[in-house]
Structure 1
Amino acid sequence: MSEHFTVVVVGGGQAGLSMSWHLGRLGVDHVVLERDQAGHEWRDRRWDSFCLVTPNWQVDLPGFPYAGDDPDGFMSGAEVVEHLEAYAASFAPPLRQGVTVTRLRRTAAGIFALQTSDGDLTADQVVVATGPYHAPAVPRLAERLPAGITQLHSSEYRRASQLPDGDVLVVGTGQSGCQIAEDLHLAGRRVHLAVGSAPRAARRYRGRDTLTWLDAMGHYAKGVDEFGDVDEVRVRANHYMTGRDGGRDIDLRLFATQGMQLYGRLLDVTEGALTFGSDLTINLDNADAVAEGIKDAIDRWIAAKGIDAPTESRYVPVWEPPSEPRALEAGELAAVVWATGFHRDHRWIQVPVFDGRGYPTHDRGVTSCPGLYFLGLPWLWTWGSGRFAGIARDAAHLAAKITAPRRLRKAEDVIWLAGTAPETVAA
């Protein structure tokens, strides 16, 4: 006979543990299922020199605020794992590790049935806290590179010595791509970087970390519904910078003056030749414009609040791209690192709550299927939702929804389940 819980939380990272803390505090019977170990994403998908981009003071989990001696520093990957382990030990969640959920469906009786690698479970309500980074995304054109070139996804990269001697191409300039390119560059490797449209931000400005200013200005609390195009906001790339060595800017133009080869977006691989777009200049200019725009907003905030902050000169570009796109032959490369993101994989969820792109439709984590929730997605509600900064707020909101007095839905709100008759369910 299946075990039954009031709530099953799928995922044992910072989101799942935060949800468990709230449910435990409210006395809700629940279990947390984790496919690997708690905090798996921080253990196995980060390179050796990885550090958080956000300051340590933002690592503020429910009931467990950062209490270290370096609030303005940046935790390494190993320190994040240690922090999550300490968090779990602080309240002993009902965590089952090494348990994979292979199917989630809603029965005609209105409960959730979960098939797992450790047997079947049922639940009144389910929180999906598996994050957005499931399957590494590598473009099909990777198949056209010569067999002798080593290829890794960013989730597999650990250190420069892992790659064979020779030139390395990094494709993608989100946070991972830029930081991996820097890691290789600092290790003395000749790096070729295909630059995309991700924005950048200065690490510090006018005496404070830029993210500290933005937090004070309310940016982390600004709801996604305050933007004109919610769908567009939710797929925006994060600004690139780094927390390495105490935190600093990532200036691709400066790297270019030091020998890094910059290109536009990678378009094709044909007969051993790599073709790049002519968008390098506009991508670098746009990234700089975003960084300077953030500084403009900080200047206005300082002036409006009458804050005594030091002045600072503005950024001046130190390099301009050539007028024509550079060419690159595959024979020049020893390795390629694909920093091209991840695909979502929710095929195990057999409940009709996804849009045409496979994104779960929800209102602040509450789906149209009563009792099914999502937590830990980027821009679930605010900019901080996919980070430590906003998890506590989002988890508290869902805990309140889960424990709210239940009522019968109106007839027009009846849920139709595939292959069953319509039913009236509790909201």
Structure 2
Amino acid sequence: MNTTDPRAIIAREPMHSRQVIAIAVATALNALDGFDVLSISFAAPGIAKDWGIDRAALGLVLSMELIGMGIGAFFLGAMADRIGRRPTILACLVIMASGMFLASVAPDVTVLSAFRLFTGLGIGGMLAATNAIVAECSNARRRNLSVAIMAGGYPMGAIVGGIIATLALDATGRWQAVFEFGALITALFIPLVLWLVPETIAFLLHKRPAGALDKINRTMVRQGRAPLAELPPRDEAPTRFSFGAFFAPGIAGVTLLLILAYFSHMMTFYFLVKWIPKIVVDMGFPPASAGGVLVWANVGGASGSIVLSLLTQKIGVRPLVIGAMICGAIGVTVFGQGFTTLASLSVIACIGGFFTNAATAGLYAVIAQSFPASLRAGGTGLVIGIGRAGAAMGPIMAGLLFASGTPLAVVAIIMGCGTLVGGIALSLVRYRESAIA
């Protein structure tokens, strides 16, 4: 029987296939988030046409699940630190599947907005919990890579889901079909998580619920490792969740700067991915073609995540993210500067997506390393929760600017500045990688 702390074993030894599978499922869950968040973007032209709403109102509808994500990331992220990563993910899947289905039967824009807000609760909690799972399932050598790959699932979900959504829009002419597909595919993930994703050893060692030793040993044996004779000594006594813990000496500066960096970057990122279809439709192209431009933005996003994840094996993640943010600001600005063909719009959207999503993927790696296990999901949820206010503000601000008559070229410059501010904030973080324990 083994008496070594299993967290140290996981950190130093090569990753077992069971760990890889858990990370793959978390990546697929993030892909699901990607489709669920952007489903409203694919449906937006049809919604605006059917219900006759203007750009300012549409900007609010586009932001509702982002507001929900902020609330869900904070409260459900904190819940993941109390009851576990796995049960939180399952609860979030139920919320997301229900919300997507209800959106497909919404009778008007007010009810649709409420259902999108509800869906966002699950998406936000999911992101906080999966970020913690990936960080805690990876060994030390592959941790940055694993978290960045998980974040890369987001644009992959938007690509695959976007292609299916475009086909559904073409085949049915109904924007509701986008949400119907989302509800079905979300529900199918519930048995997959039950089968393949155990609770993390780091959480079980910290909280020590009833049967913790048996649960840890089942996971250890499945990973081909010796079971524990007994639980190792506690590193720290579990405490009640406290908001003030994130602002304690030594961690407050990191928390605040990460919030600012994420908030500012999300304003730019969600302006790009939320408004692309409507901008392209307003240029005279059909909704299906507009969805195709958004798919190309996410092709760039997926590529950016992969490239950044590979580069983290050789270069520090923080300078990579700062560079991606600066380039992303340039790409978003260029998108609004007079391109009028589908080919040119797709290329520029792809470039903008490459850098903005690379920066997002790297940010998740930084966040995951910045908090101890006792605060990891909650800390991730706090940064994402408050930062999602920036995500919500991006589409709303752009909608108000468009409604006031501000030309696209100026809107793109203004919105591109968000990720530039994020890069500056991240450069000020006195970052120190924490142990995943």
Q: Report if TM-score (shorter chain) is over 0.5.
A: no
Structure with the bigger percentage of helix:
2
Structure with the bigger percentage of strand:
1
- With normalisation by structure 1, the TM-score equals 0.24
Task: Return the structure number with greater relative CO, CA threshold 8 A, min gap 6.
Answer: 2
- With normalisation by structure 2, the TM-score equals 0.24
